[in-house]
Structure 1
């Protein structure tokens, strides 16, 4: 297994919350906006629990296309129970792609970095946080940075 896959799996084991609700979604979203604004990053940020969007921001330079990428990345997390980046990297390591041969429509699913599951201890995945607008490794890294900071504050 590659070092990157090991690192991505470790992130998912470590970034677990004690609780996650509307207040946490707001604070996490604001932290992501702050980080992205400080760096002038042209991203869209989204946090959703089930079918409910709890937070959304489109920063300068982002477009409606970023919102479509968010939807596609979120579907990957919801279907496969792992970050969109981890799913994509696992597939790539096996020489595979997320496509019709796997029973999914690539127009509706994107195994590209940026969507990360929010796990609550004892409850599993309860929400998804997503960033779109940067190269996929950078989208993923920004989400992980914010989650790490936030989890350390709990």
Structure 2
């Protein structure tokens, strides 16, 4: 198994694990604030955007971010909306294939950014209902910031399904 194949499987397991029983506007606020607190505690400047369908439920830009971060978050979220997978999943998949989003899917890279930092919001029994996007950190840290906050939130609510494998 290649490194990329292993990571893709891990990302799929993570998406299965980090699902909600329900998702309200208050849920978006709680998660958004949790991400802000984590970022600020680590001294990171990020932009956070949480959407359900076409409605923006939470948006915050830490000091030190710019409108470019808003654009990156929107472009990464479009990838999740289109493929119903994390933007990190698409990043790894495209890298493994040696392709770009433009040549593989004929999508404009000024509108779609297949890089880590956007994650699908899934409700068990309903499917994907929205996106959480973060922009501002290097490497896979945007993705890790989202998933750590989701894991903590779902664990605190008692709705985190532990991996049984």
TM-score range with shorter-chain normalisation?
A: over 0.9
Equivalent-residue separation in structure 2 for 1:150 and 1:97 (angstroms): 34
Equivalent-residue separation in structure 1 for 2:127 and 2:151 (angstroms): 18
Give the corresponding residue for 1:4: 7
Aligned pairs (5 A) from 1:135-146: 135-146=138-149
Give the corresponding residue for 1:47: 50
Equivalent-residue separation in structure 2 for 1:136 and 1:67 (angstroms): 18
Give the corresponding residue for 2:163: none
Equivalent-residue separation in structure 2 for 1:53 and 1:92 (angstroms): 30
Give the corresponding residue for 1:122: 125
Task: Give structure 1 stretches of 5+ with no counterpart.
Answer: none
Task: Give the structure-2-normalised TM-score.
Answer: 0.90
Alignment RMSD:
1.1
Deviation at 1:93, TM superposition (A): 1.1
Equivalent-residue separation in structure 2 for 1:19 and 1:97 (angstroms): 35
Equivalent-residue separation in structure 1 for 2:104 and 2:58 (angstroms): 33
Maintained 8 Å contact 1:72/1:109: yes
Task: Give the structure-1-normalised TM-score.
Answer: 0.96
